[in-house]
Amino acid sequence: MTNAAGSGIMGAGGGKSNGKIGDTDGMTTITDVKPIDFSDKTAIQKEIDDFAEKYAYADVEHALVMSPNGNMYSLVGDKRDVNSLIVGKDALKGSIGIHNHPIRNGGNKGDSFSLKDLKSANENEAGMQHLVSGIRRDAFELTEYHSIEIETNWDKARKKAWEKHWDNKTTVLFEQQDTLRELENYLKGFKFYENI
């Protein structure tokens, strides 16, 4: 699924990678790999905050993946996507990540996580995921992983969000944000944190 707010952090795109600086799949490149103490919550939060400050208004998607393997991977993608799978599936399992969505149309923020972001976090059993887009700072986590329910429940939540706008005669500004707000009612183990 591609949309104007950015299509996602962890694309299914191929490209072999050893998780090393310079590895690329033709769209995403690993620009840095540094050690991090994954058990140090303060250090993790500092990296998230620093990333958010640096890339809130970036023109292309960037990502930072902090892995339980003790490595922190910096990635750069393009205007619509950044593929965190380039660091390797093993590095993504249980990882904490943050990426940005470039802002479109002169607004002060872009939309929140996409279905692709959610599906990829689920498929790779990733931990807490963060997003920055202008003034937007959101996160989500999955405490359970699912085999087939993600897309079906996303569609149900999206439909409910649209029904609320229809009933209230309001305009949809951020469809993904509205869908994520409803998704907790449909997807077991999903938690969305807004404006964190």
For the chain, what are the domain ranges? Answer: 29-145+187-193
DSSP string of 79-112?
SSB--GGGG-HHHHTT-EEEEE----TT-S----
Question: Which position has the token pair 């997003």?
Answer: 131
From the candidate CATH numbers 3.10.100, 1.10.3470, 3.90.226, 3.40.140, the one assigned to the domain spanning 29-145+187-193? 3.40.140
pLDDT tens per residue across all 196 residues of the chain: 233 344 444 444 444 567 899 999 999 999 999 999 999 999 999 999 999 999 999 999 999 999 999 999 999 999 999 999 999 999 999 999 999 999 987 789 999 999 999 999 999 999 999 999 999 999 999 999 988 789 999 999 999 999 999 999 999 999 999 999 999 999 999 999 999 9
Model-wide pTM > 0.85: yes
Residue 66's H or E segment, with its range, is strand 62-66
CA distance 83 to 62: 9
- Residues present in the chain in total: 196
Sequence-separated (6 or more) residues with CB below 8 Å from residue 192: 138, 139, 140, 180, 181, 183, 184
